[in-house]
Amino acid sequence: MTTKSAAAAARATVYGYPRQGRDRELKKAVEGYWKGRVTADALRATAAELRRTNWKQLAGAGVHEVPTGDFSYYDHVLDTTVMVGAIPARHREAVAADPLDGYFAMARGTQDVAPLEMTKWFDTNYHYLVPELGPGTVFTADSGKQVAELEEALALGLTARPVLVGPVTYLLLAKPAPGVPADFDPLTLLDRLLPVYAEVLADLRAAGAEWVQLDEPALVQDRTPADLNAAARAYRDLGALTDRPKLLVASYFDRLGDALPVLAKAPVEGLALDFTGPAAANLGGLAAVGGLPGKRLVAGVVDGRNIWVNDLEKSLSVLGTLLGLADRVDVSASCSLLHVPLDAAAEKDVDPQILRWLSFARQKTAEITTLAGGLSRGTDAIAGELAANRAALASRANSPITRNPAVRARTGAVTGTDARRSQPYPERAAAQRAHLGLPLLPTTTIGSFPQTGELRTARADLRAGRIDTAGYEERIRAEIQEVVAYQEKTGVDVLVHGEPERNDMVQYFAEQLDGYLATRHGWVQSYGTRYVRPPVLAGDVSRPGPMTVRWTSYAQSLTAKPVKGMLTGPVTMLAWSFVRDDQPLGETARQVALALRDEVGDLEAAGTSVIQVDEPALRETLPLRAADRPAYLAWATESFRLATSGVRPDTQVHTHMCYAEFGDVVQAIDDLDADVISLEAARSHMQVARELAAHGYPREAGPGVWDIHSPRVPSAEEAAALLRTGLEAIPAERLWVNPDCGLKTRAWPETRASLENLVAAARTVREELSGS
């Protein structure tokens, strides 16, 4: 048992907290501001109230040191870009004229100016805005946001720690700005950036900061000696500053590996390390470097990315070991709690037995404070909490909800043949061309059409009992009729039904699969004002019956053109859910794949000739360390093939991916053996097309020509120019024309204009190719 004297200094803290508010007040205020219904002052007031509420909740729960600066209107990496003055040239005038509008223009773009590129934050489903840098970048400090939020927290009488993206991670996340050679390395700007960080640190110290946290998650990835030398130099220089707060350098999401001794030797006052999942290896690494004598260690022992209750006794054991490795050990989550919902207690519809297994941000905060109390005062002081925790863990381990013998027998009987198409791609391609009769450069969309206010109202009315099922389904039929008729009129070649019945591309399926459960208030930020409710994967997965056949078949009955069946793939079903942690991910993926295989078979039997199985999370879920990737990619690609390989050769299988670094997984994309892949490419100017060509990708591809995460409407000539760029890498007979992603978040006016321009662009380039 931990003694009181051994850990008297243990305190509870967190790195960040959900931003949106209990009822997504931030989303409503920001979108209201964009539409002109909310003033800038009202938006700022809402944001300030949300920050105060979060800090008071944390302090009331026993958190000794609250984070500041983690709150953002859109994205914390974009906030860092503003803090260091790295505003792209095309946005400087707008930012100078109105900083708030300019900020949102960088995030979303305008009709005349493109936004920053957006991609996934490491291996999470959060998206950040990619900094654009070049040899001419001039950094200037703007600490206004960080100082103001610190002062807000201090005015409440709280102990507060500003949290910043660290300089090394900021540069490693950046890309060469448009027009800058692709081989430019942003890390060469480190010496230019460090004085700006020094100025920000001095400003925060003057405002009352005792500690400042600098997040360096990029150091948990495989790093070159040059990268590690840059990290050593950065913290040598920042540590040598005299006018600064104490520095806490944080990492999360994986083990630090070779970067750990670099940071351990740095002249900073503390490190914050992740000790969950693969990052548990940090424990051995810390011992190997002799610990952190004379320094503070913030130990992330509560999983900040999943929603299962912590094993408190196991965490206390880790903390007890860490006591001998640092001067002071504090307790935290493994990363910011941004990645989990706010409060499990709000979930009144979840089975009480399962609810006791769940831990959202507020519950994780309680776990952290309990662990800090146990570490400081001994386990007798938290005996009641430990007993309740043991009971919850035992309840889950022994529950029949988690195991289905029939599902396990089926997955155990899978063979390698089940995950292979019956014919090789060239033979399939010939059969599909004959069957579908599509033109050169066929046009399509990714799946969803705008989810209008009327659709959301109809869904809410059905839940509330204000309309019956018949009335709701009539509204869905009318929407499908409109979407199909519009696509036919516009000249789209392969249609979709628009998915008006779907609330979310994962949740919709999770609600129809055994083994999943849905939440009502479990919102998590994906990007900007886009929030999702990841379902909870609590048990073995199976499909009680068809999920999409009815509405796909109805859409097909309205047109002679092919209508795609639209499914979400097994990897994405896991990645965008809170997945069970009591069995290997590959086993769970195989269960989901078999459920989807049944759905694919039913769609084909109903006459669907094109079936798309989306896997946008394939790259996102890629382990951060190269050594861990082969095992992941083996089960990830096998699960996709298992879901799709039961179809006839003339049935065309599509997949879709978006907003990721595709070059890292181009071999895996090939291994999926999909007949057609559509990918985000507009913001990156067709980079993925070049990556596919360099790999020798042999199948059909549709790199996107319309950035759907911006409200701007691309002209027909702009889309045609991107198509011509795509044709430099992909031959015309294998090139498709499509947007970057689904159209759910767009409004109808911009959708009509953009899609008509996309079809016109395809027609123009076809004519150029034919010489007419």
Catalytic residue numbers, as ranges: 709
Phi then psi for 14, rounded to 5 degrees?
-135, 160
**Sign of the Cα pseudo-torsion (179, 181, 185, 190, in order):** negative
Query: Which H or E run includes 176?
Result: strand 175-176
DSSP 18-54: --S-TT-HHHHHHHHHHTTSS-HHHHHHHHHHHHHHH
Residue of 161, 215, 216 whose CA lies nearest to 12? 161
Who's near 497: CB < 8 A, 6+ residues apart? 480, 483, 484, 551, 552, 554, 555, 563, 566
Residue type, 572: T
Q: State how far the Cα of 508 lies from the Cα of 500, in Å rounded to an integer.
A: 11
DSSP 238-287: HHT-SS--EEEEE--SS--TTHHHHHHHSS-SEEEEE-SGGGGGHHHHHH
* Cβ count within 10 A of residue 596: 26
85, 141 Cβ separation under 8 angstroms: yes
The CA-based angle 430-690-494, given to 5 degrees, is: 40
Beta bridge partners of 296: 270, 328
Burial grade of 655 (CB within 10 A; 0-12, 13-18, 19 or more): buried
DSSP 713-771: ---HHHHHHHHHHHHTTS-GGGB-B--SS--TTS-HHHHHHHHHHHHHHHHHHHHHHHT
Tokens in use for 177? 């700005």
Tokens in use for 682? 């507009």
Alpha carbon distances (Å) from 613 to 427, 572, 743: 21, 10, 17
Residue of 475, 480, 478 whose CA lies nearest to 462? 475
Tokens in use for 599? 């759905």
Residue 153 CB-half CA count within 13 A: 31
Own/partner pairs for 724-729, CB < 8 Å, 24+ apart?
724/765, 725/685, 725/686, 725/689, 726/681, 726/686, 726/689, 727/765, 728/689, 728/690, 729/686, 729/689, 729/690, 729/692, 729/693
330, 296 Cβ separation under 8 angstroms: yes
Q: What is the largest CA-CA distance in the chain?
A: 86
Alpha carbon distances (Å) from 457 to 501, 510, 531, 563, 587: 12, 21, 18, 26, 38
Beta bridge partners of 737: 443
User: In whole angstroms, how large is the CA radius of gyration of the chain?
Assistant: 26
Distance separating the N- and C-terminal Cα atoms of the chain: 84
Q: State how far the Cα of 764 lies from the Cα of 737, in Å rounded to an integer.
A: 12
Q: State how far the Cα of 487 lies from the Cα of 256, in Å rounded to an integer.
A: 50
502, 520 Cβ separation under 8 angstroms: no
Alpha carbon distances (Å) from 73 to 47, 330, 340: 8, 29, 18
Residue of 358, 355, 364, 248 whose CA lies nearest to 304? 364
